[in-house]
Amino acid sequence: MTAHNFETSVLNTWCPGCGNFPLLNTVKTVLQELGEGESPTRPENLVLVAGIGCHGKIVDYLNLNSFYSIHGRVLPVATGIKLANPDLEVIGFAGDGDAYGEGLEHLIYAAKRNIDITVIIHNNRVYSLTTGQFSPTSPLGFPGRSTPAGSPEPPLNPLELLLAGGATFLARGFSSEPEQMKQIFREAIDHRGFALVDILQVCVTFNNLHKYYAERVYTVTDHDPADYLQALNKIKEWDYGAGTGGAGSGEEKERIPLGILYKREAPTFDRRLSPGGGRSRAATQEHREALIEKILANSK
Ligand code: SF4
């Protein structure tokens, strides 16, 4: 497989310059790499799930099995797919409004249960598909369509919330740093357990924070991601513009850490359900066939 094998003929309608483009290209490269090596992941064992928002179109642009869910419901769908067939590699894509707003409770429970999936958040910090309303991670004072005088709410720090919620892998990337995104995506997918990657995705049309991010991001070094308190301190180093008068104002010069901020090993939910090690592919197939036979017998 090459990255081109994952392309579709669907017309791409993202705005020119959107941070979703490098994110999509990075995902294609990672998918290609997953198909290489000694124990390759075959495309038919990959499933993508998306929510509603500009990000959701990503599943239209990737030639893989995918499920376009409804707003805020990426996690229940991804969880269901994983538990029905633990052999599948499930990758969820969600926006900040989708995951940190409508779907927040689902997200916390997926973290708490350590569902073995990867969730990539296209965090552009605005409801972009609906043309620019403030979202859960918009900075305080954000002058969106629904808050022309500036958002009166400080933003949520989703990584802090998920750390407390029990997530076993938390990372942050930036859509203008594709090489780093690639490394993070690989590690997130390889991680056995709930992995969330928060991508600071530039929305050039409704919340262009490219310059703001470029001046502040740095890659974490000398950091032990297995240490909870170190992770918390790193996560709290930047609070998504809370109390700053608005990202992009130029008043503050916070530093924004990128990289793997937290990582620990813990039993996954499917393993807890099946302490023997989860269903093997053969057992899953057997179970599926038995279920189909039962349904057919009942329908006669
Ligand atoms: Fe990208 Fe923003 Fe355009 Fe949506 S509105 S496609 S997030 S630039």
Listing DSSP states for 12-47 in one string gives P-SPTT-THHHHHHHHHHHHHHHTSSSSPPPGGGEE
pLDDT at 249: 46
Q: What is the pLDDT of residue 275?
A: 61
Closest Cα to atom 6, ligand 1: which residue?
A: 14
Residue-wise over 140-155: b if at least 16 C-beta within 10 A, else e? bbbebeebeebbeebb
Q: What is the pLDDT of residue 293?
A: 85
What pLDDT, on the 0 to 100 scale, is given for residue 37? 80
What are the pLDDT digits (tens) for 70-128?
999 999 999 999 999 999 999 999 999 999 999 999 999 999 999 999 999 999 999 99
DSSP 139: P
Taken in order 123, 129, 133, 136, the sign of the CA dihedral is negative
Query: Can you give the pLDDT at residue 254?
Result: 85
pLDDT digit string (tens) for 25-45?
A: 999 999 999 988 888 888 899
Q: Please state the rounded mean pLDDT for residues 169-198.
A: 98
C-alpha of residue 51 to centroid of ligand 1, in Å: 15
| CA 148 / ligand 1 centre spacing (Å) | 19
Residue nearest to atom 5 of ligand 1 (CA): 128
Cα 203 to Cα 260: distance, rounded to the nearest angstrom: 23
293: exposed, middle or buried (Cβ count in 10 Å: 0-12, 13-18, 19+):
exposed
Classify residue 279 as exposed, middle or buried by CB count within 10 Å of its CB (0-12, 13-18, 19+).
buried
> Which CATH code of 3.40.50.970, 3.10.290.10, 3.30.1360.120, 3.30.300.180 fits the domain covering 3-266?
3.40.50.970
Within 6 A (CB) of ligand 1 lie 14-15, 18, 20, 54, 124, 128, 203-206
- 163 vs 294: which has the higher pLDDT: 163
Distance of CA 104 to the CA centre of its chain: 13
Which atom of ligand 1 sits closest to the CA of residue 54?
Answer: 4
Kindly indicate the confidence band of residue 169, based on its pLDDT and cuts at 50, 70 and 90. very high
Q: Please work out, in degrees rounded to the nearest 5, the angle formed at the alpha carbon of residue 120 by the alpha carbons of 254 and 140.
A: 35
Contact 186, 30 (CB under 8 A): yes
pLDDT digits (tens, 9 = 90+) for 203-245: 999 999 999 999 999 999 999 999 999 999 999 999 998 754 4
- Sketch the domain layout of the chain as residue ranges: 3-266
- In whole angstroms, give the CA distance from residue 277 to residue 267: 10
Cα–Cα distance for residue pair 254/234, rounded to 1 Å: 12
Centre of ligand 1 to C-alpha 14, Å, is 6
171-181 average pLDDT score: 98
Say yes or no to pLDDT of 261 above 90: yes
Amino acid 40: pLDDT: 86
Pocket test of ligand 1: the residue of 24, 121, 128 to mutate, having most ligand atoms within 8 Å of its CB, is 128
Q: How many CB atoms lie within 10 A of CB 84?
A: 13
Please report the pLDDT score of residue 234 as a whole number: 96
